[in-house]
């Protein structure tokens, strides 16, 4: 079967280790949690493949049986994938006929959250008999994209699981889940790869070492996010970002969507605060940042503004104006520690 249909993390050694350890445990409902970019979707899919595989090993699915093949081509009758429609499209999962028709007819846009309709289908799916006789699996990702109604519908099924259904919920913000959902699942916290393992994995994804290093730094060590940054081209310019902003270069933020721009500024702010407190920066090197430490109270004020900006960044009133304001504010902060001469 083609491995290309699996997410790139599926072959990563740290995912393989976690897969083996989870498969050795019992449990009909797992919650995989951790920040984004650690591979929870890949691990969730690996568990689903292994549970449904006709010749599973301790290490996971065989990759060759009809069940593994059916998952690879996104057409396994016993696997129900619950995702926001946008995410399903990105990851290559087919939508239900009804949903696809509504989107094709331009009646609505693909959803950003898990729809009640899809949850109803999933609950019904759980009641059906397994088609291939190896039980059924419901995969929910990102689980925090369930609203209160869909979460409650799932809760009912989690409380009284039909005999052969298993659940794997993958979340990048598990604190947003209903506590009742969390308490019905066995929780697994995603483990972090070492920088070396992540670097080797990125090399295997055809990312050259210099870019991989910058991307990992920019992503705070989270390999999935680092891969996305490297592929988008944003990693290459990352180290230059503080300097470009200090020069008043608004275009330095152009490679980012508004939410990404705010996140990038938050990382600069984080590192400036670390330096001000005498600690090491995390997302940039010391050489990328202003050499004089900045005043902590000014940085704290900026940090609060960025938190507020993050709330509106998904739906800005005017993207261009927002980016200009963000860049101007960043410039002011970055130059606040330099002499009046350099500030001009
Ligand atoms: Zn198999």
Distance CA 76, CA 82 (A): 14
Please give the distance, rounded to the nearest whole angstrom, from the Cα atom of residue 53 to the centre of ligand 1: 4
DSSP state of 253: G
Q: Which domains does the chain have, with CATH numbers?
A: 3-189 (3.40.50.300), 237-343 (no CATH)
Cβ(22)–Cβ(170) under 8 Å?
A: no
Ligand 1 centroid distance, CA of 72 (Å): 10
Taking only the tens place, the pLDDT of each residue in 261-318 is 999 999 999 999 999 999 999 999 999 999 888 999 999 999 999 999 998 887 777 8
Cα separations in angstroms, 17 against 57, 184, 196, 226:
13, 24, 16, 20
Q: Rounded to the nearest whole angstrom, what is the distance from the C-alpha of residue 17 to the centroid of ligand 1?
A: 18
- Cα 26 to ligand 1 centroid, rounded to whole Å: 20
d(CA 157, CA 148) in angstroms, rounded, equals 15
pLDDT recorded at residue 141? 97
Q: What is the 127 CA–ligand 1 centroid distance (Å)?
A: 24
Specify the pLDDT at position 193.
94
Alpha helix segments (H runs only) across 12-65 = 13-23, 40-52
Task: Determine the number of helices (DSSP H) and then strands (DSSP E) in the chain.
Answer: 17, 5
The alpha carbon of 48 and the centre of ligand 1 are apart by a number of angstroms equal to 11
CA 134 to ligand 1 centroid distance, Å = 11
Per-residue pLDDT tens over the stretch 192-247: 999 999 999 999 999 999 899 999 999 999 999 999 989 988 887 898 999 999 99
Q: How many whole angstroms separate alpha carbon 82 and alpha carbon 113?
A: 10
Report pTM. Answer: 0.84
In the chain, where do the E strands start and end?
29-33, 79-82, 136-140, 165-171, 186-189
Round to whole Å and give the CA distance between 37 and 281.
20
Ligand 1 centroid to residue 22 C-alpha, Å: 17
Ligand 1 midpoint to CA 221 (Å): 32
User: How far is ligand 1, taken at its centre, from the CA of residue 86, in Å?
Assistant: 28
User: How much distance in Å is there from the Cα of 52 to the middle of ligand 1?
Assistant: 7
Tell me which residues have their CB within 5 A of the ion that is ligand 1: 53, 61-62, 65, 68
- Three-state DSSP class for residue 222: coil
Q: What is the pLDDT of residues 151-201, one digit of tens each?
A: 999 998 998 877 789 999 999 999 999 999 999 999 999 999 999 999 999
Ligand 1: centre distance to CA 65 (Å): 4
CB atoms within 10 A of CB 315: 9
Q: Once rounded to an integer, what is the mean pLDDT over residues 26-46?
A: 94
Q: How far apart are the first and last CA of the chain?
A: 61
What residues are paired with 169 via a beta bridge? 31, 140
In the reported structure, the alpha carbon of residue 74 is separated from the centroid of ligand 1 by a whole-number distance in angstroms of 14
User: Which residue in this structure is represented by tokens 């696809």?
Assistant: 100
């Amino acid at each position: 079967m083609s491995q290309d249909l699996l997410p790139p993390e599926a072959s990563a050694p740290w995912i393989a280790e976690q897969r083996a350890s989870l498969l050795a445990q019992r449990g009909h409902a797992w919650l995989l949690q951790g920040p984004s970019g650690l591979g929870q979707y890949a691990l969730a899919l690996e568990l689903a493949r292994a549970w449904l595989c006709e010749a599973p090993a301790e290490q996971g699915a065989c990759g060759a049986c009809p069940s593994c093949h059916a998952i690879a081509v996104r057409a396994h009758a016993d696997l129900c994938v619950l995702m926001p429609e946008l995410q399903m499209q990105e990851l290559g999962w087919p939508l239900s006929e009804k949903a696809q028709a509504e989107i094709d007819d331009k009646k609505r846009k693909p959803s950003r959250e898990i729809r009640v309709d899809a949850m109803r289908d999933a609950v019904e799916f759980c009641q059906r008999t397994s088609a291939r006789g190896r039980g059924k699996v419901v995969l929910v990702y990102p689980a925090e994209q369930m609203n209160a109604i869909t979460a409650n519908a799932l809760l009912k099924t989690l409380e009284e699981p039909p005999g052969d259904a298993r659940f794997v919920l993958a979340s990048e913000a598990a604190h947003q889940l209903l506590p009742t959902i969390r308490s019905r699942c066995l929780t697994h916290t995603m483990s972090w790869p070492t920088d070396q393992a992540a670097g080797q994995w990125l090399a295997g994804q055809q990312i050259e070492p210099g870019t991989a290093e910058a991307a990992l730094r920019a992503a705070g060590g989270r390999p999935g996010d680092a891969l996305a940054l490297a592929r988008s081209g944003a990693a290459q310019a990352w180290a230059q970002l503080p300097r470009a902003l200090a020069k008043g270069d608004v275009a330095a933020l152009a490679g980012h969507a508004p939410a990404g721009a705010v996140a990038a500024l938050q990382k600069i702010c984080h590192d400036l605060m670390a330096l001000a407190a005498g600690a090491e920066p995390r997302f940039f090197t010391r050489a990328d940042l202003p050499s004089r430490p900045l005043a902590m109270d000014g940085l704290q004020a900026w940090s609060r503004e960025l938190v507020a900006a993050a709330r509106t960044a998904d739906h800005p009133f005017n993207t261009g104006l927002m980016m200009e304001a963000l860049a101007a504010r960043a410039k002011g902060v970055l130059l606040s520690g330099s002499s009046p001469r350099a500030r001009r």
